[in-house]
A and B are shown apart, each in its own frame.
Chain A
Amino acid sequence: MAGVQVANVSRSFGAHKALDNVSIDFADGGFYALLGPSGSGKTTLLRQIAGFDFPDAGRIAIGGESVERVPVEKRRIGMVFQNYALFPNMSVADNVAFGLSVRGEAKATIATEVQRALDLVQLGKLGGRKPHQLSGGQRQRVALARAIVTKPRVLLLDEPLGALDKALRVDMQIELKRIQREIGITTIFVTHDQEEALTMSDRIGILRDGRLVQEGPPEEIYDRPQSEFAATFLGDANIFRGNATGTGIRLPDGTTIAASTGASVPAGVKASCAVRPERIRISTSAAKPDPADANTLTGQVSKRIFAGNNSTYFVERDGQTLKVIVQNTGAERLAEGQSVVLSWSPDSTVLIA
């Protein structure tokens, strides 16, 4: 086991900068998600760490040892591919045994290690099957067993759950997390699914256009996004744009919004505020439901989407559509067209430079 340090790594393909001066420290034993839209460089970064491709500049270290020019087969990593990449000509057991067998391990050792790995992913009885006889979830588990049986220093996962259907994906998320905890391996996980990143990882790195936008624990990124992109890519957010006042921002129409978290921006400079839809309270009377809610706005409900345990209201206000999520507590539901008052606390408002 080992941590991974990525320092000032850049990689271009022709004129396209796939990675632009990216630095991340992956601590030993942690579970990291690299999150970003397609083309953000997250897979390129994973391939640099794996050693399929070498960076143009920068340093990559695994367990403190520089590896940026070491080919993949010498890096002692385990990788799970998006399409699983199981060898179709080999049985499940032979697939898992491959990494041990190319190292020239003794047959008896290989057999016990393979069985242990298959037991860990709960496929102990399917060693004799061929990959095409397995379901998608089972193939996923074989790919995982194959990647960890060699006791790699770091486990790399390239959108491993992307090909599974939703219910199976949730099962595999829990399973993957359990296995990762059990063997305590540093895990780096590429995904474009923000929910997956939030539920599974200890830390998230958000990438956009080859740059690291923000990195930290899921709660921190969700509660204190440092950019409009981070705020809207990880979860949903209402964004207000205006000029900083020192305690918040002033919107173009003169309304002020108080913010007590986020960046400190000198007064007068252009800035924005992000508010999560579930932090906003919606009511029909002018009286605030909570006196601590310093921020109030009025608007009109334009649309309501009922989703069982909650409802999403779209509220029109000065040409902007705001999103408000209300838990289904049995209270009266608001009709489309109704005038409403929105209120929320400055603590729920993040100032973004």
Chain B
Amino acid sequence: MTTRNFLKRIVLFTLVLCLVCSFSAVAFADGEEDFSGRTLTVGIWGGNDQETAAIETLKANFEAAHNCTVDLKVYTDYNTQIQADFIGKTAPDVFYVNGSVFPFISSLGVMDALDPEEYDLDQFYPNLVAAFTDADGNVLCVPKDVSTLATYYNIDLLEAAGYTPEDIPDDYDDYMAFLTDLQAKLDEVYGKNAVAAMTYNQDLARNLFILQDGTDGLIDADGNATLTSDGVVANMQFILDFVDAGVWKTPSDLGLGWNGEAFGTGKVAIMEEGNWVYGTLKTDYSDINFGVKAMPVYHGTQYSMSYTVGYGIYTLSENKDMASAWIKYVTGVDGLNIWCSGAGCLPPRADAAEAMDVESDPVWAVHSEMAGCSIPEQLGNNYTIINTAYQNWLPEAVSGNMTAAEFLAEAESQANMEIANAG
């Protein structure tokens, strides 16, 4: 080998080395860890097309940044299947946890405690972080989004009945008189029972904030249901009065599946619904002329309900470093921007909400405002049991076969019996 040839080779080698180095510098420029050849499993439940597109974008970005594979495990019946996975010790590395079942899942000891600083938890809305904090004060999940209830009204229906949106009261106490008049006018214009003044839902997820107002809560320290206190009965009666007066109807009373459908088909003038309905109204029922305002005040307090979902890391995961990186990415400002604007939900942290500019859209602005005063859909470990008992017996109170007190006593006794049996 000649010296010249040798020099040539050295130069070539150096060039190649530089090239390789610069490529890897591009790929891992901002200190992203390299997980090449590894696979992260993320447990989610299926959503609509927009949600699927958003999570696929997150997946692709994460795979590109970390040179790894993300396997989305989509549950069709989340509650049953993930429990089976926990029992079989085959749960995904990182998975969705619904706020309402968080207390139960956290009690199973299947999630690692998370370091609040590592995940920037001080940037998140405190009531959402609290929703994912267990009894010992450990945060086990990072919230990934939040949805809240707001008041939706059909402007055309209101105007046909001789009202303007400003006439809708800001206080539940003024609702009875307003809705009674509105229902009478709607009956006049459209025929009896053709259009309902307002819908409601027979579900603790919707009724919780009214029921708990001014009481010691709907559960005791042991997680048993306490539905029979005078305060709860009075709050229940408040709901039933609207139903008895015929101004609150369920979507099923109208022969429809859910509020969005009833509102979208012009069968109801006012509904309280979560922000997920916003996308539906825009795409499926674009001819509906509607507005959105804050939830009414109940007994002097501004309430709403919030529905939040977080990410937890599986205790037995062998890819905890990857799971942690995933959570940091998807709950960071950039990730949330992709997810929330795609899926149609609110970011769980103020800086991301600002970056997304939620205030520029009047509907999002109202839902975002509600995030601060909302109470989470949670009722200890036994939320599902208590809600099932509640939904089971509420029709009896609505039909007049039971009084509010009798219904709540029946629901409480069934719930507590089941809790004791599960023991």
User: Is B one of A's binding partners?
Assistant: no
